[in-house]
Structure 1
Amino acid sequence: MSSPSAIPSSQPSAWAPIAITAFRVLWFAQLGSNIGTAFGAPVVFGVNALSFVVAVIALVW
């Protein structure tokens, strides 16, 4: 039986796309939008305010 440490390190991590800025901004904006919709966050200029704030934070990060 193989142990988890026997996995070759050449396989990319599931978190690898987070290193790409555009992907990170869009992913966090979508996450913020989903959370904001669930909790009824206010809409500003047709955009869920929480998704906008989360996207700005992801962009700066």
Structure 2
Amino acid sequence: MTRVSAADKWPDAVEATRNLARFYDDRAKWTDVQPYMQCLFELADERKDSSPGEPYRRR
């Protein structure tokens, strides 16, 4: 979904959001959600803290 125009695929994005909300409502375990997330996004094993990025850090 991330490699195509959002305008062309917005119904798919709505459906994906509904599915994720259903996982949340059902209190699904990560092991159940992960395969679905891997279909939506390219997941990386390495984890990083979120940040604005080096060029935008406060000095």
Larger radius of gyration: 1
TM-score, structure 1 as length reference: 0.34
Q: Where is the strand percentage greater, Structure 1 or Structure 2?
A: 1
Q: Higher relative contact order at CA 8 Å, sep ≥6: structure 1 or structure 2?
A: 2
TM-score, structure 2 as length reference: 0.35
